[in-house]
Amino acid sequence: MSDAPEVKQPVVTPVRVIIALCLVAPFIAMLWVSSYAKVEPTLIGVPFFYWYQMLWVLISTALTMIAYKLWQRDQRARKSAQSAGGQA
């Protein structure tokens, strides 16, 4: 048992806001259909509507990977802060 008060870490942090933005951005981009519901410009004969969506598959993958790595880093930092706080 430790006499030191338990320090609670904030739930909403800048890193977690960035993680949320990375995960929400593809949904917003795909739900805003009027922004990409057109034929021009074409890319190698493929209408904009299709290649824009395929581009977002790649962007979504990258954003999800970034969010996952940030989450792992955040969890490691919280665990180390928690264990350091418990040993004081």
Task: Determine the average pLDDT of the residues in 49-74.
Answer: 96
pLDDT band at 82 (very low <50, low <70, confident <90, very high): confident
Give pLDDT, residue 10. 78
Would you place residue 5 in the very low, low, confident or very high pLDDT band (cuts 50, 70, 90)?
low
Whether pLDDT at 88 is above 90: no
Mean pLDDT confidence for 29-38: 92
Q: How far, CA to CA in Å, does 61 sit from each of 22, 57, 68, 69, 70?
A: 10, 6, 11, 12, 14
| Pair of tokens at residue 53 | 């969506």
Residue 46: pLDDT band (50, 70, 90) is very high
